[in-house]
Chains A and B, each alone.
Chain A
Amino acid sequence: MSAPIDPGEAPLLSVERLTRFYGERLGCRDVSFDLYPGEVLAVVGESGSGKTTLLNCLAARMKLSSGAVRYRMRDGEMRDLAALGEAERRFLMRTDWGFVHQNPADGLRMNVSAGANVGERLMAIGERNYGEIRGSAHDWLSRVEVPTDRIDDSPRAFSGGMRQRLQIARNLVTAPRLVFMDEPTGGLDVSVQARLLDLIRALVAELRMAALVVTHDLAVARLLSHRIMVMKEGRVVEEGLTDRVLDDPQRPYTQLLVSSILQV
């Protein structure tokens, strides 16, 4: 899969020597990269490799110990995320960004209907027409292949795969430019996983979103991402185009990871 990158374009997200400690213990260290509009970057590694810490720091859900994360706002200006005010940060998170949690219950409002879950972001940014909000919810449910007659049902009555698709719809309704995904297919049956991956791949391409996907599953990374970053013990050990890294891993650790998955 080749990245739809316009060579003249500026990066959307620029990360410089991102480091995070938990007291004495290292979370991740000296991570630097740029992410371009429309590009999908997979961060792979075992549990404890620092990939979730990295994700939380990037998504401004956790403070950095040192380093910087800059984001190109819709007006084109690069802003240091640490310098954003709380109001700006929250606004960014519910408009220009999405965050897809591994467990859909963490990203959904389980006590309101599917329609309200999708409509919430629209209402939060001032949409005040019930019919239009409902129309968008309807449209998005069908785009993520949730039967639209389930619009007034509670997500509690949904299967795991359907909840995850609902969570994706809830995030994409404001047309974000960057989506963070934390093991988006974890905990799902293999057949459900495959369908969901196809859906994500199609939506990301169609909406030309940038995405940062954290996963321990190299098959997910191969299917979704243009570029891969391999992490071990808090540091990036190898980085490159997805096909290159998976077909011709350079580092012993990456070779071990690649060789440990079944070849099909």
Chain B
Amino acid sequence: MSTAQEKPETPYNFAYLDEQTKRMIRRAILKAVAIPGYQVPFASREMPMPYGWGTGGVQVTASLIGPDDVLKVIDQGADDTTNAVSIRSFFAKVAGVKTTTHTKEASLIQTRHRVPEMPLSENQILVYQVPIPEPLRFLEPRETETRLMHALEEYGLMHVKLYEDIARHGHIATTYAYPVKVEGRYVMDPSPIPKFDNPKLTNSPALQLFGAGREKRIYALPPYTRVESLDFEDHPFRVQEFSEPCGLCGASGVYLDEVILDDHGGRMFVCSDTDHCEGRREAGHRGHLAGAMGAPGAEAAE
């Protein structure tokens, strides 16, 4: 699958966007890197995929990608979900770049809703697709008001919500898109990654960029940025724990997808990060259900 084409077979500019647009986006990215966690407005363009399907991430990727880059695209942790396939083939077509499913081979990774299990390096950039960049949006619907709240660091309302969760459920009931505070200043939406992935955001060697196309915002976490998940001292942030390891590769301490096996309630848990799972199985790891079935995804990828 990962074959570099000689030359893009399209009448479009390299990576689709014209160079002026790319420069505009790069300026927004630079500003975002300079002010970690701050949402920089940018003049988002219409892209050939729908809003809400990754147009922000695609524009960030398009403005950064060069002919020597190796691109990986994941959606829900997997390389073979429909939207990941679609975005990967888009860049293969309009930029002619090499693509990969292996995290360690990629120089640029565009993701929706997951951070890869394998730690990233300084030579990698992780681009998140963001649907709603404003962490305060569901507490205050008005942009004019939320921008003021960010400017004045008025984040008390955020904790009111967490307080209510604890009062009602005994613990914080936010499981994904769990808000974080960046370098002690801006409260930021990490995109709808499960809160399981939040600890991977802090102090990461990789540059992390967030693009929201429909909402026209870019924000960033420069390498080695301090990122804290909001919590209370006596109700500290905690990630999900799974009661069993991956059924295929036996991994624990990773995020798992639940797979329904039959209509009698039978189910199993498998790695959400398909590359991680395949890598482990190639290295000889076996989960307790691995012998009983074929390799998932193999038939679809052919």
Contacts and interface: CB of A to CB of B under 8 A. Distances in A.
A106 B165 CA distance: 24
Interface residues of A, number: 23
Contacts of A130: 163, 166, 232-235
A113 B167 contact: yes
Given A86-B152, A87-B152, A115-B167, A129 B232 contact: yes
Interface string A114-126: 0110011101110
A109 B160 CA distance: 10
Nearest to A121: B156
A86 B233 CA distance: 30
Contact of B233 (A109, A124, A129): A129
Contacts of B151: 87
Interface in B144-163: 148, 151-157, 159-160, 163
B75 to A, nearest CB: 34
Interface string B156-194: 110110011011100000000000000000000000000
Nearest to B172: A130
- Main SS of chain A's interface residues? helix
A138 to B, nearest CB: 12
A23 B234 CA distance: 53
Max chain B CB contacts within 10 Å: which of A90, A123, A134, A151? A123
Contacts of A128: 159, 231-233
Given A128-B233, A130-B232, A123 B159 contact: yes
A109 B53 CA distance: 35
Contacts of B233: 128-130
A112 B155 CA distance: 16
A167 B163 CA distance: 18
| Contact residues on B (Cβ < 8 Å of other chain), bracket | 20 to 34
Given A124-B154, A128-B232, A131-B234, A112 B159 contact: no
A133 interface: yes
A21 B137 CA distance: 36
B154 A116 contact: no
Interface string A87-103: 10010001000000000
A46 interface: no
Nearest to A111: B164
B234 to A, nearest CB: 5
A116 B152 contact: no
Tell which of B152, B167, B233, B234 has the most Cβ of chain A within 10 Å: B167
A112 B160 contact: yes
Contacts of B160: 109, 112, 116, 119-120, 123
Interface in B119-155: 148, 151-155
Nearest to A151: B167
Contacts of B148: 86
Nearest to B231: A128
A128 B166 CA distance: 13
A152 interface: yes
Interface in A17-39: none
A41 to B, nearest CB: 30
A121 B154 CA distance: 11
Contacts of B231: 128
Q: Quick one: which of B160, B233, B234 has the most chain A CB within 10 A?
A: B160
A119 B164 CA distance: 10
Given A129-B232, A130-B232, A130-B235, A124 B156 contact: yes
A86 to B, nearest CB: 6
Contacts of A134: 167
Contacts of B154: 90, 124
A125 B163 CA distance: 15
A24 B154 CA distance: 37
Interface in B200-246: 231-235
A155 to B, nearest CB: 13
A161 B233 CA distance: 34
Contacts of B156: 94, 120-121, 123-125
A115 B163 contact: yes
A115 B232 CA distance: 16
A152 B163 contact: no
Contacts of A131: 234
Contact of A113 (B157, B159, B164, B232): B164
Q: Residue among A113, A121, A125, A128 with the most chain B CB within 10 A?
A: A128
- Sorted from nearest, which 5 A-B pairs have the closest CB atoms? A124-B156, A123-B159, A130-B232, A123-B156, A129-B233
Interface of A: 86-87, 90, 94, 109, 112-113, 115-116, 119-121, 123-125, 128-131, 133-134, 151-152
26 contacts: A87-B152, A90-B152, A109-B160, A113-B164, A113-B167, A115-B163, A116-B160, A116-B163, A116-B167, A120-B156, A120-B157, A123-B156, A124-B155, A124-B156, A128-B159, A128-B231, A128-B232, A128-B233, A129-B232, A130-B233, A130-B234, A130-B235, A131-B234, A133-B232, A134-B167, A152-B167
Given A109-B160, A123-B156, 13 more contacts: A86-B152, A116-B163, A116-B164, A123-B159, A128-B159, A128-B232, A128-B233, A129-B232, A129-B233, A129-B234, A130-B233, A131-B234, A133-B232
Interface of B: 148, 151-157, 159-160, 163-164, 166-168, 231-235
